[in-house]
Amino acid sequence: MPSGLQRLRQTIDAARAERRAALLVCLPAIDNLSWSLAAARACVAAGADLLEFQTVYPRHPAPTVEALAEIAAGVDAPCLLWSDFDTVNAFTILDNAGWRLVPECVAAGIAGLAAPVPMGCGEAFADACGDDLAPVGFVAPTMQPKHFDEVCRCSSVFTYAIGVKTAPPSDPRIFEDFAGFVERVREASGTHVFVGAGVTTPAQAALAATFADGVAVATAVFVALDDAARRGESQIDALASLVGMLRGAVERDCGSPESPRP
Protein backbone atom coordinates (compact mmCIF):
# COMPACT_ATOMS: atom_id res chain seq x y z
CA MET A 1 0.00 0.00 0.00
CA PRO A 2 1.58 3.34 -1.03
CA SER A 3 2.04 6.02 1.60
CA GLY A 4 0.02 9.21 1.51
CA LEU A 5 3.01 11.08 0.15
CA GLN A 6 3.43 8.51 -2.63
CA ARG A 7 -0.27 8.73 -3.47
CA LEU A 8 0.03 12.50 -3.68
CA ARG A 9 2.89 12.26 -6.15
CA GLN A 10 1.15 9.54 -8.17
CA THR A 11 -2.07 11.54 -8.38
CA ILE A 12 -0.35 14.64 -9.72
CA ASP A 13 1.69 12.61 -12.18
CA ALA A 14 -1.45 10.82 -13.39
CA ALA A 15 -3.18 14.13 -14.09
CA ARG A 16 -0.16 15.32 -16.03
CA ALA A 17 -0.12 12.09 -18.05
CA GLU A 18 -3.70 12.94 -19.04
CA ARG A 19 -2.43 16.33 -20.28
CA ARG A 20 -4.27 18.37 -17.68
CA ALA A 21 -3.65 20.15 -14.41
CA ALA A 22 -4.56 18.42 -11.17
CA LEU A 23 -7.55 19.92 -9.35
CA LEU A 24 -7.24 20.54 -5.63
CA VAL A 25 -10.44 21.50 -3.81
CA CYS A 26 -10.18 23.21 -0.41
CA LEU A 27 -13.07 22.38 1.92
CA PRO A 28 -14.12 24.12 5.16
CA ALA A 29 -12.85 23.10 8.57
CA ILE A 30 -14.44 19.86 9.76
CA ASP A 31 -17.22 20.73 12.20
CA ASN A 32 -19.64 18.01 11.08
CA LEU A 33 -17.90 14.80 10.05
CA SER A 34 -20.82 13.26 8.18
CA TRP A 35 -21.31 16.44 6.13
CA SER A 36 -17.59 16.79 5.42
CA LEU A 37 -17.36 13.16 4.32
CA ALA A 38 -20.36 13.59 2.01
CA ALA A 39 -18.83 16.79 0.62
CA ALA A 40 -15.48 15.09 0.06
CA ARG A 41 -17.10 12.17 -1.76
CA ALA A 42 -19.14 14.56 -3.92
CA CYS A 43 -16.00 16.49 -4.85
CA VAL A 44 -14.09 13.37 -5.85
CA ALA A 45 -17.05 12.02 -7.82
CA ALA A 46 -17.23 15.34 -9.66
CA GLY A 47 -13.55 15.25 -10.60
CA ALA A 48 -11.41 16.60 -7.75
CA ASP A 49 -7.96 14.99 -7.64
CA LEU A 50 -6.94 16.19 -4.18
CA LEU A 51 -8.74 17.55 -1.13
CA GLU A 52 -7.54 19.98 1.51
CA PHE A 53 -8.99 20.72 4.94
CA GLN A 54 -8.12 23.38 7.50
CA THR A 55 -7.14 23.42 11.13
CA VAL A 56 -6.66 26.77 12.85
CA TYR A 57 -4.69 27.62 16.00
CA PRO A 58 -5.35 27.89 18.95
CA ARG A 59 -7.80 25.01 18.64
CA HIS A 60 -6.06 21.69 19.22
CA PRO A 61 -5.62 19.95 15.85
CA ALA A 62 -6.34 16.46 17.19
CA PRO A 63 -10.11 16.48 16.43
CA THR A 64 -9.43 17.65 12.86
CA VAL A 65 -6.81 14.97 12.29
CA GLU A 66 -9.04 12.27 13.78
CA ALA A 67 -11.93 13.30 11.54
CA LEU A 68 -9.68 13.57 8.52
CA ALA A 69 -8.54 9.98 9.09
CA GLU A 70 -12.11 8.84 8.40
CA ILE A 71 -12.39 11.06 5.36
CA ALA A 72 -9.03 9.91 3.95
CA ALA A 73 -10.17 6.30 4.35
CA GLY A 74 -13.51 7.06 2.71
CA VAL A 75 -12.44 8.80 -0.50
CA ASP A 76 -10.21 7.80 -3.38
CA ALA A 77 -8.10 10.95 -3.34
CA PRO A 78 -5.13 12.16 -1.29
CA CYS A 79 -6.09 14.52 1.53
CA LEU A 80 -3.99 17.39 2.81
CA LEU A 81 -4.14 19.44 5.99
CA TRP A 82 -3.81 23.21 5.75
CA SER A 83 -2.51 24.82 8.92
CA ASP A 84 -1.40 28.21 10.16
CA PHE A 85 2.25 28.13 11.21
CA ASP A 86 1.50 28.67 14.91
CA THR A 87 -0.11 25.22 14.94
CA VAL A 88 2.80 23.68 13.06
CA ASN A 89 5.25 25.28 15.46
CA ALA A 90 3.34 24.33 18.61
CA PHE A 91 2.67 20.69 17.70
CA THR A 92 5.51 19.86 15.32
CA ILE A 93 8.65 21.91 15.88
CA LEU A 94 8.67 22.80 19.59
CA ASP A 95 10.21 20.05 21.71
CA ASN A 96 7.74 20.33 24.58
CA ALA A 97 4.62 19.39 22.59
CA GLY A 98 2.94 16.40 24.20
CA TRP A 99 0.95 15.65 21.03
CA ARG A 100 2.87 15.44 17.76
CA LEU A 101 1.15 16.57 14.57
CA VAL A 102 3.28 14.77 11.98
CA PRO A 103 3.05 11.16 13.24
CA GLU A 104 -0.67 11.65 13.88
CA CYS A 105 -1.14 12.93 10.31
CA VAL A 106 0.81 10.00 8.89
CA ALA A 107 -1.22 7.51 10.93
CA ALA A 108 -4.40 9.20 9.69
CA GLY A 109 -3.40 8.72 6.06
CA ILE A 110 -2.94 12.43 5.41
CA ALA A 111 -0.66 13.03 2.44
CA GLY A 112 0.72 16.51 3.07
CA LEU A 113 0.86 19.48 5.41
CA ALA A 114 0.45 22.91 3.79
CA ALA A 115 1.43 26.01 5.73
CA PRO A 116 2.64 29.59 5.20
CA VAL A 117 6.25 29.25 6.35
CA PRO A 118 7.91 32.32 7.93
CA MET A 119 11.44 33.24 6.97
CA GLY A 120 13.97 31.18 8.88
CA CYS A 121 11.58 28.27 9.53
CA GLY A 122 11.71 26.36 6.23
CA GLU A 123 14.36 23.82 7.20
CA ALA A 124 12.69 23.07 10.53
CA PHE A 125 9.34 22.61 8.77
CA ALA A 126 10.75 20.19 6.20
CA ASP A 127 12.73 18.25 8.82
CA ALA A 128 9.67 17.91 11.04
CA CYS A 129 7.58 16.49 8.18
CA GLY A 130 10.23 13.89 7.43
CA ASP A 131 9.85 11.37 4.62
CA ASP A 132 6.21 10.37 5.13
CA LEU A 133 4.34 13.69 5.08
CA ALA A 134 4.81 16.16 2.23
CA PRO A 135 5.65 19.70 3.43
CA VAL A 136 3.97 22.24 1.14
CA GLY A 137 4.92 25.92 1.33
CA PHE A 138 3.43 29.07 -0.18
CA VAL A 139 5.38 31.53 -2.32
CA ALA A 140 4.26 34.83 -3.85
CA PRO A 141 5.85 37.33 -6.27
CA THR A 142 6.14 39.87 -3.45
CA MET A 143 8.36 37.68 -1.25
CA GLN A 144 11.95 38.62 -0.55
CA PRO A 145 14.34 36.49 -2.65
CA LYS A 146 15.88 34.82 0.39
CA HIS A 147 12.46 33.86 1.77
CA PHE A 148 11.31 32.67 -1.66
CA ASP A 149 14.33 30.40 -2.05
CA GLU A 150 13.95 29.01 1.45
CA VAL A 151 10.29 28.06 1.01
CA CYS A 152 11.00 26.52 -2.38
CA ARG A 153 13.73 24.37 -0.86
CA CYS A 154 11.50 23.14 1.97
CA SER A 155 8.53 22.12 -0.20
CA SER A 156 8.05 18.55 -1.34
CA VAL A 157 5.95 17.14 -4.23
CA PHE A 158 4.37 20.53 -4.95
CA THR A 159 4.64 24.18 -4.00
CA TYR A 160 1.80 26.71 -3.82
CA ALA A 161 2.29 29.79 -6.02
CA ILE A 162 -0.12 32.44 -4.76
CA GLY A 163 -0.70 36.10 -5.42
CA VAL A 164 -2.32 36.15 -8.86
CA LYS A 165 -4.45 39.31 -9.06
CA THR A 166 -7.58 38.48 -11.02
CA ALA A 167 -9.14 41.88 -11.63
CA PRO A 168 -10.73 42.11 -14.11
CA PRO A 169 -11.63 38.41 -13.96
CA SER A 170 -10.04 36.02 -16.47
CA ASP A 171 -7.80 38.61 -18.10
CA PRO A 172 -5.30 36.44 -20.02
CA ARG A 173 -2.57 39.05 -19.58
CA ILE A 174 -2.64 38.58 -15.82
CA PHE A 175 -2.05 34.88 -16.18
CA GLU A 176 0.63 35.38 -18.82
CA ASP A 177 2.58 37.48 -16.31
CA PHE A 178 2.01 34.95 -13.52
CA ALA A 179 3.16 32.07 -15.71
CA GLY A 180 6.70 33.42 -15.57
CA PHE A 181 6.60 33.39 -11.78
CA VAL A 182 5.34 29.80 -11.76
CA GLU A 183 8.31 28.76 -13.89
CA ARG A 184 10.63 30.46 -11.39
CA VAL A 185 9.02 28.45 -8.60
CA ARG A 186 9.34 25.23 -10.57
CA GLU A 187 13.04 25.81 -11.20
CA ALA A 188 13.82 26.87 -7.63
CA SER A 189 11.83 24.12 -5.90
CA GLY A 190 12.25 21.16 -8.22
CA THR A 191 8.59 20.36 -7.48
CA HIS A 192 5.26 20.57 -9.22
CA VAL A 193 3.60 23.99 -8.85
CA PHE A 194 -0.03 24.64 -7.94
CA VAL A 195 -1.66 28.02 -8.53
CA GLY A 196 -4.06 29.19 -5.84
CA ALA A 197 -5.40 32.19 -3.91
CA GLY A 198 -6.83 34.00 -6.91
CA VAL A 199 -8.41 31.32 -9.09
CA THR A 200 -12.16 31.60 -8.50
CA THR A 201 -13.90 30.75 -11.78
CA PRO A 202 -13.70 27.93 -14.35
CA ALA A 203 -12.36 30.43 -16.90
CA GLN A 204 -9.52 31.38 -14.56
CA ALA A 205 -8.85 27.72 -13.79
CA ALA A 206 -8.56 27.01 -17.53
CA LEU A 207 -5.99 29.79 -17.93
CA ALA A 208 -3.99 28.62 -14.92
CA ALA A 209 -4.04 25.05 -16.25
CA THR A 210 -2.11 26.10 -19.33
CA PHE A 211 1.07 26.59 -17.27
CA ALA A 212 0.54 25.18 -13.75
CA ASP A 213 0.75 21.54 -12.69
CA GLY A 214 -2.23 22.00 -10.41
CA VAL A 215 -5.04 24.44 -9.66
CA ALA A 216 -6.26 24.97 -6.08
CA VAL A 217 -9.68 26.49 -5.45
CA ALA A 218 -10.95 27.63 -2.05
CA THR A 219 -12.84 30.94 -2.16
CA ALA A 220 -15.17 29.81 -4.93
CA VAL A 221 -16.05 26.75 -2.86
CA PHE A 222 -16.96 28.83 0.20
CA VAL A 223 -18.99 31.25 -1.93
CA ALA A 224 -20.91 28.39 -3.57
CA LEU A 225 -21.68 26.85 -0.18
CA ASP A 226 -22.86 30.16 1.27
CA ASP A 227 -25.00 30.95 -1.78
CA ALA A 228 -26.67 27.53 -1.68
CA ALA A 229 -27.41 27.85 2.04
CA ARG A 230 -28.89 31.32 1.54
CA ARG A 231 -31.16 30.03 -1.23
CA GLY A 232 -32.17 26.97 0.78
CA GLU A 233 -30.60 24.64 -1.78
CA SER A 234 -28.39 21.59 -1.31
CA GLN A 235 -24.83 22.63 -0.53
CA ILE A 236 -23.54 19.23 -1.62
CA ASP A 237 -25.22 19.58 -5.02
CA ALA A 238 -23.85 23.11 -5.43
CA LEU A 239 -20.38 21.89 -4.53
CA ALA A 240 -20.54 18.99 -6.99
CA SER A 241 -21.70 21.32 -9.76
CA LEU A 242 -18.84 23.76 -9.16
CA VAL A 243 -16.21 21.02 -9.01
CA GLY A 244 -17.55 19.48 -12.20
CA MET A 245 -17.16 22.79 -14.04
CA LEU A 246 -13.66 23.29 -12.63
CA ARG A 247 -12.61 19.79 -13.65
CA GLY A 248 -13.79 20.46 -17.18
CA ALA A 249 -11.76 23.68 -17.18
CA VAL A 250 -8.45 22.14 -16.10
CA GLU A 251 -8.68 19.44 -18.76
CA ARG A 252 -7.32 21.96 -21.24
CA ASP A 253 -3.93 20.84 -22.62
CA CYS A 254 -1.32 21.93 -20.07
CA GLY A 255 1.78 20.66 -21.81
CA SER A 256 3.44 17.43 -22.81
CA PRO A 257 3.50 14.73 -20.16
CA GLU A 258 7.04 14.02 -21.26
CA SER A 259 8.20 17.51 -20.21
CA PRO A 260 10.85 17.39 -17.44
CA ARG A 261 9.21 17.30 -14.04
CA PRO A 262 10.20 16.11 -10.54
User: What pLDDT is attached to residue 252?
Assistant: 61
Over the stretch 59-105, which tens digit does the pLDDT of each residue have? 789 999 999 999 999 999 999 999 999 999 999 888 677 889 999 99
Q: With a cut of 80, say whether residue 262 has pLDDT above it.
A: no
Q: With a cut of 50, say whether residue 122 has pLDDT above it.
A: yes
* Domains by residue range for the chain, with CATH: 4-250 (3.20.20.70)
In percent, the amount of the chain with pLDDT more than 70 equals 93
- Average confidence (pLDDT) over 199-221: 92
Q: With a cut of 80, say whether residue 195 has pLDDT above it.
A: yes
CA angle, 237 then 239 then 241, to 5° = 70
User: What pLDDT is attached to residue 255?
Assistant: 42
Rounded-to-integer distance, Cα 156 and Cα 180, Å: 21
User: Among 5-19, 20-34, 53-67, 186-200, where is mean pLDDT lowest?
Assistant: 53-67
- Average confidence (pLDDT) over 176-190: 92
User: What pLDDT is attached to residue 259?
Assistant: 38
CA angle, 93 then 95 then 97, to 5° = 85
- Average confidence (pLDDT) over 235-250: 97
Tell me the average pLDDT of the chain: 90
The answer to whether 55 and 82 have CB atoms below 8 angstroms apart is: yes
Return the CA Rg of the chain. Answer: 17
Residue 209: other Cβ atoms inside 10 A: 28
User: What pLDDT is attached to residue 261?
Assistant: 47
The answer to whether 52 and 216 have CB atoms below 8 angstroms apart is: yes
Model's pTM, two decimal places? Answer: 0.92
Over the stretch 139-176, which tens digit does the pLDDT of each residue have? 999 999 999 999 999 999 999 999 877 665 567 777 77
Residue 24's pLDDT band, with cuts at 50, 70 and 90, is very high
